[in-house]
Amino acid sequence: MDYKEALNRFRIKIEKVVAINYANSIMEWDAATGAPKKGAPMRGESLGFLTVLQHEILINKEAEEDLEILLQNIDKLTDIEAKMVKNSKKEFVKMSRIPKNELRDYHMLTNRAQHSWEEAREKDDFSIFSKDLKEIINYKRKFAKYIDAKEHPYNIFLDDYEEGMTVEKLNAFFSKLKERIVPLLKKIEESKTVINDDFLKKSYPIYLQKEAATELLEIMGFDLTRGMLKESTHPFTMGTNIDDVRLTSRYDENNMLSGTLSVAHEGGHALYEQNISRDLFNTSLATGTSLGIHESQSRIYENNIFKSKEFINFYLPFLVKRYPEQLKDITTENFYNAINRVEPSFIRVDADELTYSLHIMVRYEIELALIEERLEVEDLPEYWNNKMFEYLGITPPNNSMGVLQDVHWSHGLFGYFPTYALGSAYAAQFSHYMNEEKEPKKVLEWLNKNIHTYGSLLTPDEISLKSCGELLNPEYFCSYLEKKFTNLYNL
């Protein structure tokens, strides 16, 4: 059969899926930014219907046959077409090998698990969640086996978030981090340097913080005519398409840094989605290539740029103009020191730049132990607390502030956490290769050219090789942290 007919049908299917994705995104944005809560059931109906529809469009006999024809003619396709075909084939294999009824039962289970996790966290009682978690892990292992029984199940999970990543590579990655960051943190804790960040906790009126947030986005180079900033309980970024990229932040009157870093972080994600090549418009490739690379874009702005002396030197006057009273007599040095203060804490999302990846390491080691059946769910709280003490030197006072703090596992998101640490490491590596340039315009230019423009056309490895001439190398991250915090704490 002529491959062109198959290609035509394939493209139409992709466009339908993109159209449905857009509708679903807007409904989710709406839900997160103010929609009446009581309207949730109808939204659930609509999202559910459209998700099933997407599945029906992609997973059927015709789609399967077309994919075969296109794979046989892959040389005749453009790069974009070929990449979409390969991705779709992979997705097809995954979706078609898991029995529909098991997938439905699993969705019901994770739906239920949201509630048991929430209740467990509220009541600080891990046992309320443990039964569902055990079942989730069983399903995840079973599904991985359906997809490829010969592969390490954790590699199957990783493939959903970070193409090319494996347990072997992650083990090497995290052992390097352990070797370098854990001793560094010990030294900092023993240091006598005291950093004062009290002025960050003064009263910063919310309406001023909102104005500052928009200004910061403009400084970063975000195009507000092709996107918008709103508020939500949990900050997030949503690239519905190149011309409509949305992000949210949250503001705390007595913690100016929190909202500001949120904007820098989400702004980094948003710049990625906004600067994907227009050639990819209306295709399935018009989004970030992996969670790790996406996170590198948020982390590079939040940490490597925002928390650098060069940037603070440039940006502090903007803040002083807005908050003359609160920032009276505060120097670049004061501000830089305060926002880089290290303090081990229990909650991942509040962690500083140095300890953040240790939180991730704890989670990675637990996930791997659970999936490899070296750890029982019942023993998880103790295991968690031991790891926290080993790496961060602190023990959570309860499970709500420990093993129960994150929503991810109740959603079945195993293999997701490591991408946060990969993002920080990629950020340090990219930052190194752009010659430590901290001028917003030049940073954006480099990221546009080397990362953003490709969307999902290149894999994380291809992007790293093309832009840095080497694969991900945690050495950059470790030596960046060592240099920065050795100076800061006079080690």
Active centre residues (catalytic): 266
Nearer to a copy of itself (CB atom), residue 42 or residue 471: 42
Strands 227-231 and 237-241: unpaired
Nearer to a copy of itself (CB atom), residue 3 or residue 236: 236
For the chain, how many residues are written?
A: 491
**The residue to which tokens 């703090």 are assigned:** 405
Binding a copy of itself (rule: CB under 8 A), the pick from 64, 118, 215, 244 is 244
Q: Is 229 helix (H, G, I), strand (E, B) or coil?
A: strand
Nearer to a copy of itself (CB atom), residue 148 or residue 244: 244
Binding a copy of itself (rule: CB under 8 A), the pick from 5, 39, 350, 436 is 39
Q: Does 35 bind a copy of itself (CB under 8 A)?
A: yes
Q: Is 163 helix (H, G, I), strand (E, B) or coil?
A: coil
Nearer to a copy of itself (CB atom), residue 104 or residue 466: 104
The interface mask with a copy of itself, positions 44-83, x = CB under 8 A, is -xx-xxx--x------------------------------
**Cα separations (Å) of 418 from 73, 78, 139, 462?**
36, 33, 20, 19
Q: Does 435 bind a copy of itself (CB under 8 A)?
A: no
| Token pair in block for residue 186 | 């010990």
Separation of alpha carbons 162 and 202, rounded Å: 40
Beta strand extents in 27-143 (DSSP E only)? none
Say if residues 411 and 114 touch (Cβ distance below 8 Å).
yes
Q: Does 322 bind a copy of itself (CB under 8 A)?
A: no
Q: Does 23 bind a copy of itself (CB under 8 A)?
A: yes
Separation of alpha carbons 462 and 466, rounded Å: 6
241 contact partners, CB below 8 Å, separation of at least 6: 22, 281, 282, 286
Separation of alpha carbons 120 and 446, rounded Å: 45
**Cα separations (Å) of 187 from 182, 351, 394, 490?**
9, 18, 15, 10
Phi–psi pair at 230, nearest 5 degrees: -135, -170
- Interface segment toward a copy of itself; rule CB under 8 A; list 22-30, 118-126, 401-409, 439-447: 22-30
Nearer to a copy of itself (CB atom), residue 27 or residue 320: 27
Separation of alpha carbons 129 and 115, rounded Å: 9
Nearer to a copy of itself (CB atom), residue 146 or residue 281: 281
- Interface segment toward a copy of itself; rule CB under 8 A; list 37-45, 250-258, 368-376, 411-419: 37-45
Separation of alpha carbons 170 and 158, rounded Å: 10
The interface mask with a copy of itself, positions 279-298, x = CB under 8 A, is ---x----------------
Q: Does 469 bind a copy of itself (CB under 8 A)?
A: no
Least spacing, CB of residue 270 vs a copy of itself, in Å: 12
Phi–psi pair at 248, nearest 5 degrees: -130, 160
Q: Does 30 bind a copy of itself (CB under 8 A)?
A: yes
Phi–psi pair at 239, nearest 5 degrees: -95, 95
Separation of alpha carbons 310 and 318, rounded Å: 14
- Interface segment toward a copy of itself; rule CB under 8 A; list 29-37, 159-167, 439-447, 456-464: 29-37
Least spacing, CB of residue 278 vs a copy of itself, in Å: 12
Least spacing, CB of residue 448 vs a copy of itself, in Å: 18
- Which of positions 120-179 make contact with a copy of itself (CB under 8 A)? none
- Which of positions 207-226 make contact with a copy of itself (CB under 8 A)? 224-226
Q: Does 275 bind a copy of itself (CB under 8 A)?
A: no
Binding a copy of itself (rule: CB under 8 A), the pick from 11, 43, 86, 180 is 43
- Residues in contact with a copy of itself by CB under 8 A are 15-16, 18-20, 22-24, 26-27, 29-30, 34-39, 41-43, 45-46, 48-50, 53, 224-228, 240-241, 243-244, 282
